Structure 1
């Protein structure tokens, strides 16, 4: 294989012997390499051959935004989970989990960890994934010298569930449909087009997927007094995005007869606001 583009020392876009683009990962796989150089097959630890054009842009943005050690950590966690769960996991997990691990470690250092309100449900409904999440937390604690709470094992477990190839087809179809419908409400409300290669968009869609899973499962993030204080702050600070969420809430109540808690509304508002601002900033840059 020949290197087409170096994303960082551990990730490259390459061309295989059939002339097809692939994404190769491995520790030091691109160290001292440049476009046109041959890859050492012994250093290739993971090869992505499906949806390469879609994944490459996101991997490139992730490589720019997140230090390589967090992408390596995600790769290790996923390898451990595959061994423990005995099943394949979707390629997108490398992106979402690396992003999640990076921000979790940053929040730990800032003493701003988020409590997982689905901890008990996750432990009960997905025991295998939860155990894999606990092992992942132990590994992350040792690697990054942190002390993550058990809540984090549940967050990581839900990433494994979301990436699992073993979901029921009717659930997968319904979850996908809800993601599409919610995304459509956002797009039409703001009259904007999403950038599918944007990391902020990827984060938002990942959150909406988890949100859709909770709708299908009949669970929801409940609210307490501290959440409602933050809810009020978000409602006032992000008025436009909050108004968009109210339209989503009305749609889901009518279409799926489901109520959306204040906590769910708060997180949706934050993610929508991030994407909306990102698109606005890019439009301003184009005008300059």
Structure 2
């Protein structure tokens, strides 16, 4: 069944403000959605129109304030990119990505035109944690570079991947960055305690990063994992250095997250750490 809305204001060819029975005032974003329309016109909203709906008061206000600073053809292009992301991820995107990614890409394009370079210290971690988002972000960067005839620094892939992850998981970028900083801190503690330099493109490094991420996620959601008492005794005896370091990492996680971390995580961390030692 089609939802019929009434246009309150046409902001440009691709963005209109309309009245919605449930959400009151909403922002509709879609290619050509505002073309040849005026206040009081009826407009239908359904998925077939490939139209995005901004209903959150704060997101709506930020997006409307952002529009005058961005060329209209760029807004159309970003709309295409968001549809590409949604298709590739095969998930609905949280509406906050419209503000966040529009703002980020407009600024990134402006930076690239001025040849301002920067690095992303979390690039390897982001690729290890969110491989699908990373590949989709690569596709986004390629499309931007071809359309805008410019070159993005590699670090942009990581930043865009974070925006995509945030939009498909409903996590805020603040939380995601907080977890990434914690993982970087834990990796630093591991390197210091074991006196090793971890190879960031190594498969065991990727496994460790993903395990730390899942452990943080489980702590955040309060999901315990099954405890193996016999395995614990064995690991404690065979690998005391890694076992004690695993406990240290758990304590750091608990302090940073301000949440209890399941003790059974120690076992799996010990195995990951021992694997790294064996390699080095």
Match of 1:63 in 2: 67
Question: Over residues 121-155 of structure 1, what are the superposed CA-to-partner deviations in whole Å (9 max), with x where a residue is unaligned?
Answer: 11111110000000001111111111223321111
Aligned-pair CA distance for 1:44: 4.2
Tell me, in whole angstroms, the C-alpha distance in 1 between the residues paired with 2:140 and 2:58. Answer: 27
User: Of 48, 51, 74, which aligns to 2:53?
Assistant: 48
Tell me, in whole angstroms, the C-alpha distance in 1 between the residues paired with 2:147 and 2:179. Answer: 31
Report whether the alignment pairs 1:157 with 2:123.
Answer: no
SS at match of 2:18: strand
Tell me, in whole angstroms, the C-alpha distance in 1 between the residues paired with 2:52 and 2:140. Answer: 22
Tell me, in whole angstroms, the C-alpha distance in 1 between the residues paired with 2:59 and 2:10. Answer: 14
Question: Over residues 175-224 of structure 1, what are the superposed CA-to-partner deviations in whole Å (9 max), with x where a residue is unaligned?
Answer: x7xxxxxxxxxxxxxxxxxxxxxxxxxxxxx5x4553232454559x9xx
Report whether the alignment pairs 1:135 with 2:139.
Answer: yes
Identify if the C-alpha distance between structure 1 residues 209 and 35 changes in structure 2 by more than 3 Å, giving closer, same or farther: farther
Match of 1:213 in 2: 179
TM-score with structure 1 setting the length: 0.57
Match of 1:282 in 2: none
| Structure 2: runs of 5 or more not aligned | 189-254, 259-280
Aligned residues: 189
Report if aligned partners of 1:130, 1:154 keep a CA contact under 8 Å in 2: yes
Report if aligned partners of 1:134, 1:150 keep a CA contact under 8 Å in 2: no
User: Of 39, 43, 49, which aligns to 1:39?
Assistant: 43
Instruction: Map 1:1-288 to 2 at 5 A.
Output: 1-16=5-20, 20-39=24-43, 44-48=49-53, 50-51=55-56, 53-165=57-169, 208-219=174-185, 256=256
Tell me, in whole angstroms, the C-alpha distance in 1 between the residues paired with 2:180 and 2:159. Answer: 13
SS at match of 1:39: strand
TM-score with structure 2 setting the length: 0.58
| Structure 1: runs of 5 or more not aligned | 167-171, 177-205, 223-254, 259-288
Report if aligned partners of 1:116, 1:151 keep a CA contact under 8 Å in 2: yes
Rg larger for: 2
Identify if the C-alpha distance between structure 1 residues 160 and 2 changes in structure 2 by more than 3 Å, giving closer, same or farther: same
Identify if the C-alpha distance between structure 1 residues 106 and 19 changes in structure 2 by more than 3 Å, giving closer, same or farther: closer
